[in-house]
Every structure is written in structure tokens, then in C-alpha cells.
Amino acid sequence: VQLQASGGGLVQTGGSLRLSCVASGRTFNVMGWFRQAPGKEREFVAAITRNINPVYADSVKGRFTISRDNTKNTVDLQMNTLKPEDTAVYYCAVTSTALIMRSQRFYDYWGQGTLVTVSS
């Protein structure tokens, strides 16, 4: 299984970015995104089940939208109204759990990470 993430970059406060991740090898019930800011632990951002039930961290609710295409085995993260505190390396991850888990220890495979920098 391989996960390939893309779409990171530099954006000003209030701007938007869209991250994409494609999984190869097999399908998973849950596809999600985590992020790790400098000096901080990796944290849950959002995840979505195969049946298109999303869950968001409170810090991004209303600003980020997660979506997936089951036919292409991809998961996207549309990030709007970005803030400097959203600056982090963003990782896509997948798991076969029946429910969406916010803890990273439940996720089986991880992408390489893509850097998002929001300037103030």
C-alpha cells in the first residue's frame, strides 16, 4: 500500500489550498488527514468513511472540507480561511476500522506528508 499526498504550499492568511491523496494497493473504510506543526505532536484534522460520513477536528470545522472518490481511491482536503496556526506538515492516512478514530495509532498506512505554510 502506498499513499501519495500533494497540494501543499505557501498561502496568505485567509487563503485556500486543496490537498489530495491517492492510495494504491487496496481500499480502506476510513481515509483521513493529520497534521504536525513544528514542535508539536501530530494531530487529527479530518477523516471520512467509505459511506461519506466525515468527522472534523473542532479547530477546522467550518473551514475545511474532506471528500473522497471511492472509484479513484482518493481523499481530498479543501482548506479555506487558512490561519497561521494551520501551518504544519499534513499527512494522509488510512485504516480499516469501522468507525472514524481520531488517534493516529489506529491508522495503518501513511503518506509522506506535504507542507502547508500560512503567512500572517
The pLDDT value given to residue 30: 98
Residues of the chain with pLDDT under 70: none
Question: Of 16, 38, 20, 10, whose CA–CA distance to 118 is shortest?
Answer: 10
Q: Strand, helix or coil at 85?
A: helix
Contact 22, 85 (CB under 8 A): no
